[in-house]
Amino acid sequence: MSGRLIIVGGHEDKDDDSLILREVTSCADGGAVVVCTVASNERDAVWKDYKEVFSRLGCRDVRHLDIGERSEIVNDPPLELLDDASVVFFTGGEQLNITTRFAGTRLCAAVEELYRRGGTVAGTSAGASVMADTMLVSGRGSESHRIRENLFMAPGLGLLKDVLIDQHFAERGRIGRLLGAVAQNPRLLGIGIDENTAIVVDREERFSVIGEGAVYVADARNVSYTNVADEQADRTLSIFDVTLHLLSQADRFDLATRRPEHRPAEEIESRLLDLAPSANGRDGQGARRNGRNGKRRGRAAGH
């Protein structure tokens, strides 16, 4: 039985209602949250930031999995950090830092085992991209994809199969590169996640959306034509009959049937805003009133 994945598009709110990090906290259910900062080049600062916010949201046991070099965990992996842990959270940074320093180790296998036993693995920004078996590492955003532009894809951690994830999606104009990626391999379902937005994947069967932005789902399974293998290198991509879904808070998506389902956003807001004190100290009722009135004090810095 697989557990839950919480895959965040980056720059998640840490100061106001913090819906996404509340969901991470709720999954801990009294167990430890292990924050892995291996992706970041500022590991201590990132750890301090997340330790503070998770503690304020009610996590009593927040632990730091600090990996600077692969050699640090190959011979003597700190497996004890996962004892009684319910959640492992990968911060942002560079996704290749995660795969090159962490993938294939005994510690990585232990995290996967935690997930397969029903635990939660979460990640934001770079920590989101590594969840799939194929990750989109680099490639131009903000413009239409050209056929021979270099889309650098690499193996991820493989916790979610047959999916490709992109983050900071609308903010960095990445629709072109996501379509270019699924054109190259229509087997993969392309998922683009906006900032301060997440998908919560249950048992690799379906996901629901949390946050203020959108989730884009590009399904190329029934594509009738693409010029990706035929045209000159500088030609703009053509792709016919690709299906594009746009989901917002509380909407669901079935990964088996590849079909969306609408759900009222208020359901998830009410559930999460009553779970724990907010990150700035307001109680759940005060946070709910703030959320309903739509007041925001700006977005916290993400990684």
Active-site residue numbers?
125, 143, 168
Q: Are 236 and 144 in contact (CB under 8 A)?
A: yes
* Torsion, Cα of 95, 101, 106, 110 (10° steps): -30
Question: Minimal CA–CA distance to 65: which of 8, 105, 26?
Answer: 105
Q: Provide the strand spans (E) within 214-297.
A: 215-219, 225-226, 239-240, 243-247, 252-254, 259-261
Alpha carbon 270 to its chain's center: 22
d(CA 283, CA 6): 24
Give the separation between CA 134 and CA 129, rounded to whole angstroms: 8
Per-residue CA distances from 58 to 64, 148, 185 (Å):
17, 49, 42
Residue 38: DSSP 8-state: T
152, containing H or E segment = strand 152-155
Q: What is the dihedral of CA 35, 36, 40, 43, to 10 degrees?
A: 60
Measure the CA angle with vertex 84, ends 32 and 131; round to 5°.
65
User: Cα(211)–Cα(17) distance, rounded to whole angstroms?
Assistant: 10
Across the beta sheet with 132-138, the strand order is 152-155, 132-138, 160-167, 189-193, 215-219, 243-247
